[in-house]
Structure 1
Amino acid sequence: MKLVFVRHGEPDYENDSLTENGVEQARKTAERLKNEGISAVYSSPMGRAMKTAFFTAELLGLTVEPLDFMHEIDWDSHPWTTAFRLLTEKPEMMVGDGWRDSDYFRGDICLKYYDMIAQEFDRFLENFGLVRNGSLYEQTNHSEQTIALFAHGGSGAVMFSHLLNLSFPYVLTALPYGVCSVSILEFDAKIDGKVIPRLELFNDMNHLDNVKFEPLHFDK
């Protein structure tokens, strides 16, 4: 199974929608994805993600299926800034789960969202024959399906952190991705049905060559 992940287009945060430029980015992204063999389109229920997903679904003759748990996360302290401060002060937090108990993240509401998304994403993957077992997945049913998921900077970062077993602050700091960027994860069992998700492509924005880029930032 392959998962094509797309961050929403340039956002109009005030109206939870896309700017005119964001709409053009979404159209170009649909053209970029039309030959990926996508058979299902999923999206965060938020307006800016659903609107971005619409153009791909329309081009492919599909409908957008909302995944409520991929709603953008909430936070007390801006997690990208917090993560950078934590990792520059304590580089050892780049690995493992110690970041959860750090002064920067302990008690922050973003932890609630992290745990919810991680749990619900595993349940979602079970629909494709992938069952979480520790840090790996076990393939109970082989799937050749390619699906697309449109979401956000924060909920997507949780997804990458959980699937790739990378600390959340590390993903926030070292792996930022822009509007309408395309990333691809493959879930393929190599030995005894064990699956380690493989990141085949990350933050591909080449399809936006004639559309100005939003300065890389994340907001609610």
Structure 2
Amino acid sequence: MAGRRFVVEADGGSRGNPGPAGYGAVVRDADTGQIIAEAAEFIGHATNNVAEYRGLVAGLRAAHGLDPDASVAVRMDSKLVVEQMSGRWKIKHPDMQPLAAEARAVFPRSQVTYTWIPRERNKDADRLANEAMDAGRAGRAWEPRAGAAAAPPAAQPAGEALPAPAAPRAGWAAPADLGSPTTFVLLRHGETALTPQKRFSGSSGSDPELSERGRWQAERAAEALAARGTVQAVVSSPMRRTRETAEATARRLGLEVRIEDGLRELDFGAWEGLTFAEAQEQYPEDLDAWLASAKARPTGSTESLATLAQRTGVARDRIIARYAGKTVLVVSHVSPIKTLVRLALGAPPDAVYRMELSAASFCAVQYYSDGNASLRLLNDTSHLR
């Protein structure tokens, strides 16, 4: 059955280039011209080109959320983005390459076409981008106009970079005024054969199973959670070691394990299976760069800590939306859990290097309806003693 036909108009802007930046995108019904979805976001400090690409990705995802089988005609006033996405111009800038890859991953290439249009014919996307920048300057999130349709959530292809997660708001509020928070009980998986040796074990490696000690740790964690009796849902990374850890608790509580791809471990590329010392000996420059910048990628990897934070933040928001006001066991890995903790604290990216996270340890974060987050527990291993 043929899908629907959409027109995506997207734009982005930066006041300063680089400077405070935002994007806007609309999805139109190709037959009627009616706007059926809008998306916009303030993205912080960025260039015009980054904002334009972010607008394109948001527009495509909004269209995908409406109909993944649709044919999409993209119209933008950015000659650069149109020519690069059409394959006529090479993408040389390192900031543009992953964004272009994100855009290409949303739909099969055969379903999308790109056309340049003058700025005066892209007024709706331009308006949304400016609304997003104005909202960011005022310290608030962009909201659609009354009667306008917000973009629907779209499924995220595995392995792609995602929109930047919103930073937690600062301030104090009485929990009674905000309703019940959504509580994440964050559980790192139990040990595998690689864990005691402190070897890199990410999403592109051997996907090891739990060791005998790891299974014991998973059962102890399950006992502790069953005794508390507060967990109402179980969500896990798709990796084998996390699924096995999650299933131990799910069996005791009579719950199903829901898989969330955004919770998978970082892709460590050529470092998979190596110790830190081995990686330092074989790839010294790459390792130093990775430790110095959240945008650097492990040798041969598809993602950085920055893109990990983006997909983890989106996964967080999906879980909160599905289980609002509930307590959720979230079983994941070192990097995603540390990232969720640092996002809750509003800490800089290098804060992940200043946290200890033991195998089968608990952390806990509560999320309130006003956007605030509260770290309640970090690296608790008392159930393993």
TM-score (norm 2): 0.41
1:194 pairs, out of 370, 373, 380, with 370
How many angstroms does 1:18 deviate by?
0.6
How many angstroms does 1:160 deviate by?
1.7
Residue 257 of structure 2 is matched in structure 1 by 64
Structure possessing the higher radius of gyration over alpha carbons:
2
Q: Where in structure 2 are the equivalents of 1:1-220 lying within 5 Å? A: 1-13=182-194, 14=206, 16-34=208-226, 35-75=228-268, 104-108=293-297, 109-110=303-304, 111-129=306-324, 143=325, 145-170=326-351, 172-188=352-368, 194-209=370-385
The 1:107/1:200 distance shift into structure 2, 3 A limit, reads closer
How many angstroms does 1:23 deviate by?
0.4
User: How many residues are matched?
Assistant: 170
How many angstroms does 1:41 deviate by?
0.5
How many angstroms does 1:159 deviate by?
1.7
Following the alignment from structure 2 to structure 1, what is the Cα–Cα distance between the partners of residues 270 and 307?
14
Q: Name the amino acid aligned to 1:39.
A: Q
Following the alignment from structure 1 to structure 2, what is the Cα–Cα distance between the partners of residues 20 and 101?
33
Q: Name the amino acid aligned to 2:223.
A: E
How many angstroms does 1:16 deviate by?
1.6
Instruction: Provide Cα deviations, 1:148-204, integer angstroms capped at 9, x if missing partner.
Output: 00000012122222232111211x22222101101111223xxxx524211111111
TM-score (norm 1): 0.69
Q: Secondary structure at the match of 1:177?
A: coil
Contact 1:12 1:48 in 2 (8 A): no
- Stretch of structure 1 that moved more, 7-16 or 153-162: 7-16
How many angstroms does 1:76 deviate by?
6.0
Percentage identity across paired residues of the two chains: 25
Contact 1:36 1:146 in 2 (8 A): no
How many angstroms does 1:50 deviate by?
0.5
Q: Secondary structure at the match of 2:356?
A: coil
Contact 1:74 1:113 in 2 (8 A): no
How many angstroms does 1:116 deviate by?
2.0
- The unaligned stretches of length 5 or more in structure 2 are 1-181, 195-205, 277-288, 298-302
Q: Name the amino acid aligned to 1:156.
A: I
- Stretch of structure 1 that moved more, 104-113 or 19-28: 104-113
Contact 2:344 2:375 in 1 (8 A): no
The 1:17/1:101 distance shift into structure 2, 3 A limit, reads closer
The higher-RCO structure (CA 8 Å, 6+ apart) is 1
The 1:18/1:197 distance shift into structure 2, 3 A limit, reads same
- The unaligned stretches of length 5 or more in structure 1 are 82-99, 130-142, 210-220
Q: Name the amino acid aligned to 1:19.
A: S
How many angstroms does 1:102 deviate by?
9.0
The 1:102/1:57 distance shift into structure 2, 3 A limit, reads closer
Contact 2:185 2:329 in 1 (8 A): yes
Instruction: Provide Cα deviations, 1:14-72, integer angstroms capped at 9, x if missing partner.
Output: 55211100100100000111124111001001000000111100000111111111011
Following the alignment from structure 2 to structure 1, what is the Cα–Cα distance between the partners of residues 330 and 372?
19
Following the alignment from structure 2 to structure 1, what is the Cα–Cα distance between the partners of residues 269 and 341?
21
Q: Secondary structure at the match of 1:51?
A: helix
